[in-house]
């Protein structure tokens, strides 16, 4: 896989955009910021089921930080999914925190697991970037998809959007005779 040689410029969040976010319930106090996750003191590469490097690293935090960070991450998940109601989060735990070495802004991915049924979900913690925020808000306003995200200072929290990574889709499904290209086009238009 070829690595990225150029990365997109990060655009700061203007005061006007921050005011808009505050007026629309997107600017919230959060217990963990992007900078908190940079305190990881170790990492190991994360491989997929076929032993391919995913370009994500699983992070480890100092013991005295880990409990505080994981509790804060559960709180953030509760804000994203249950309007901050922690009572519905008692059966959830933070399984791991990954960092993408390939990503534009070194994003973090948090894996939350339901201990009752072992289902899992992700959310992302990124450096706030005005172009990304505008894209999320336009997606939320103009499509049937509802985007859940939070901004606080230089931190952007995003829910996980389920789907197949583009490279996997092209490699595994694009030339499949059973692929319904009309349905795919409709779903793509709906998503974008």
Q: Per-residue pLDDT tens, the chain, 192 aa: give them.
A: 456 667 788 899 999 999 999 999 999 999 999 999 999 999 999 999 999 898 899 999 999 999 999 999 999 999 999 988 888 888 999 999 999 988 788 999 999 999 999 999 999 999 999 999 999 999 899 888 788 999 999 999 999 987 777 777 788 877 888 888 787 776 665 544
3-state secondary structure of 135: helix
Orientation of helix 130-142 relative to helix 15-23, angle to 10°: 40
pLDDT value, residue 88? 80
- DSSP code for 174: T
Total residues found in the chain within this entry:
192
- 63 found inside a domain: yes
Are residues 39 and 130 located together in one domain of the fold? yes
Are residues 139 and 79 located together in one domain of the fold? yes
Are residues 122 and 48 located together in one domain of the fold? yes
Q: Starting at the edge strand that comes first in sequence, how are the strands of the sheet with 108-114 ordered?
A: 42-47, 53-60, 92-100, 108-114, 120-127, 155-159, 149-152
Are residues 97 and 187 located together in one domain of the fold? no
- 188 found inside a domain: yes
3-state secondary structure of 140: helix
- 7 found inside a domain: no
Task: Please answer whether residues 133 and 14 qualify as being in contact, where contact means their C-beta atoms are separated by less than 8 angstroms.
Answer: no
Alpha helices in the chain (DSSP H): 15-23, 34-37, 63-82, 130-142, 166-172, 181-191
- End-to-end Cα distance, the chain: 26
Are residues 28 and 49 located together in one domain of the fold? yes
pLDDT value, residue 145? 77
Are residues 106 and 191 located together in one domain of the fold? no
Are residues 84 and 149 located together in one domain of the fold? yes
- 5 found inside a domain: no
Are residues 140 and 178 located together in one domain of the fold? no
**Structural tokens at position 184:** 């795919």
Specify the number of domains making up the chain. 2
Strand partners, 112: 94, 121
User: Which residues, 6 or more positions from 145, have their beta carbon under 8 angstroms from its beta carbon?
Assistant: 139, 161, 190, 191
- Give the span between the Cα atoms of 12 and 181, in whole angstroms: 39
Are residues 178 and 107 located together in one domain of the fold? no
Are residues 155 and 176 located together in one domain of the fold? no
- 3 found inside a domain: no
pLDDT value, residue 192? 44
Are residues 142 and 93 located together in one domain of the fold? yes
Are residues 119 and 176 located together in one domain of the fold? no
The half-sphere exposure of 46 on its side-chain side, counting CA atoms within 13 A, is 18
Domain boundaries, position 140: 15-161
- 2 found inside a domain: no
């Amino acid at each position: 896989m070829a690595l990225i040689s150029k990365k997109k410029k990060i655009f700061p969040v203007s005061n006007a955009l921050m005011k808009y976010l505050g007026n629309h319930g997107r600017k919230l106090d959060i217990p963990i910021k992007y900078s908190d996750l940079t305190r990881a003191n170790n990492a190991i590469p994360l491989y997929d089921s076929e032993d391919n490097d995913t370009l994500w690293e699983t992070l480890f935090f100092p013991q005295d930080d880990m409990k505080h960070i994981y509790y804060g991450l559960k709180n953030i998940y509760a804000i994203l999914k249950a309007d901050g109601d922690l009572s519905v989060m008692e059966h959830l735990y933070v399984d791991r925190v990954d960092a993408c070495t390939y990503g534009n802004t070194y994003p973090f991915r948090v894996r939350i697991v339901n201990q009752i049924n072992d289902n899992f979900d992700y959310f992302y913690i990124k450096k706030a970037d005005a172009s990304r925020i505008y894209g999320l808000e336009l997606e939320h306003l103009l499509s049937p998809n509802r985007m859940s995200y939070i901004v606080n200072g230089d931190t952007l929290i995003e829910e996980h959007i389920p789907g197949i990574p583009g490279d996997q889709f092209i490699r595994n499904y694009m030339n499949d005779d059973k692929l319904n290209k009309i349905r795919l086009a409709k779903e793509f238009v709906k998503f974008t």
